[in-house]
Amino acid sequence: MRAFIGAVLALALSTASSAGDWSAPARAEAPDGRVLMTCRSRLAGDFLVVELEPADGWHVYAMDNEDRAKRALAGKMSLGVEQNTEVIVTGGLQPIGEWYQSEPLDFSQPELRWYSYGFDDKSLLAARVRRGEEPWAEVTVRGQACDSSSCVSVEADMELSLDGEAGAGFTPAGLVLVGKS
């Protein structure tokens, strides 16, 4: 019994993180339990960085997918527009700047007037943040995951410890400003 308790305690301590470390991975699942997207987050300098990784064969949409589609449609009707990915931050962090994202892929089918932009591989979202009083933050990623035949609303919740110092500084070089491209 002591060995079991020791193993559980060691596992708990090994998964604990401090500011600057990645949070435990959070999985967004389909109603049938399949993992569609995995996310994790960390505090890097004065930036919150969120990593998204869609499951093989799936993709998620850019934070500004709807705006990109409207620009591409130039006032024309569309068959539909997939929902933006959004990040909700509560607790000890407050986003104070604009969001940045990896450069989205173009999934559009212009012949159908269907325009969509997003990610089918590991991608980053980042925003400058201000620390509050709480020693933790909750980071929720909401969006839509699609494969070649279906789309599912997804949500992944992460708890991020803010104990200690933030990780090494971060610059959004290589990312694009949401809504500006």
Residue pair 65/81 in contact by the 8 Å Cβ criterion: yes
pLDDT averaged over every residue in the chain: 86
pLDDT tens string 109-163: 888 778 888 999 999 999 999 999 999 999 999 999 999 899 999 999 999 999 8
What average pLDDT does range 159-176 have in this prediction? Answer: 87
Q: Which CATH superfamily is domain 22-177 in?
A: Thiol:disulfide interchange protein DsbD, N-terminal domain (2.60.40.1250)
* Total-model pTM: 0.85
Q: Give the CA-trace dihedral at 118, 123, 124, 125, to 10 degrees.
A: 20
Cα(163)–Cα(63) distance, rounded to whole angstroms?
Answer: 29
Per-residue pLDDT band at 95 (split at 50, 70, 90): very high
Nearest CA to 119 out of 55, 46, 45 is that of 55
